[in-house]
Amino acid sequence: MIKETISKLLNEQVNAEYYSAYLYLSMAAYADRAGYKGIANWLHVQAKEEMAHGTRIFQYMLERGALPSLGGIKAPPASYSGITEIFEKVLAHEQGVTESINRIATLAEQEKDHAAYQFISWYVSEQVEEEASAEELLTRVKLIDSHSGLLFNLDTALASRVFTDPFGR
């Protein structure tokens, strides 16, 4: 059985992952309406990843004898000033997720819950990738600045991203 302190943080993380999916879907809608179908696709795939992350934590809690408790998910922002702002917010959001995941890892280590630590370690590594990807895209968008032809090229490249379930389900 998992300790209540860890279960509480995992519950919060499930909700945070589902909020992340809402956030990315909101951003995808903005990008789509602005004509950036490739960027919208990248954000849709990101939303699917976040749902998979939350669902895996939910399942892990059940495996460990905890009862997941789903809380309300607040509405994400619906409008943005442009693509640069979207990727600034993506990076800032992923940095916040990293902090949350690190809190769980630290607590699992302190509580000597080796199973929880092992489980959350995958997410620690995943966040390194998430932040690097967000930072790279933000850098590209800022370099492109107002060169619409270059932004079109980036948009086209991001259209090829496909969802691959990180847990092989």
- Asked, for residue 27, whether it belongs to a domain, the answer is yes
Q: What is the pTM of this model?
A: 0.89
What domain count does the chain have? 1
- Asked, for residue 98, whether it belongs to a domain, the answer is yes
Calpha distance 57→149 (Å, rounded): 41
- Per-residue pLDDT in tens (0 to 9) along the chain, 169 residues: 899 999 999 999 999 999 999 999 999 999 999 999 999 999 999 999 999 999 999 999 999 999 999 999 999 999 999 999 999 999 999 999 999 999 999 999 999 999 999 999 999 999 999 999 999 999 999 988 766 667 777 777 777 777 788 877 6
- Asked, for residue 165, whether it belongs to a domain, the answer is no
- Asked, for residue 166, whether it belongs to a domain, the answer is no
User: Residue 67 is part of which domain span?
Assistant: 4-158
Burial of 14 (0-12, 13-18, 19+ CB in 10 A): buried
Cβ atoms < 10 Å from Cβ of 10:
25
Sign of CA dihedral 98, 101, 103, 109: negative
Secondary structure (3-state) at 2: coil
CATH number of the domain encompassing residue 154 = 1.20.1260.10
- Asked, for residue 164, whether it belongs to a domain, the answer is no
- Asked, for residue 93, whether it belongs to a domain, the answer is yes
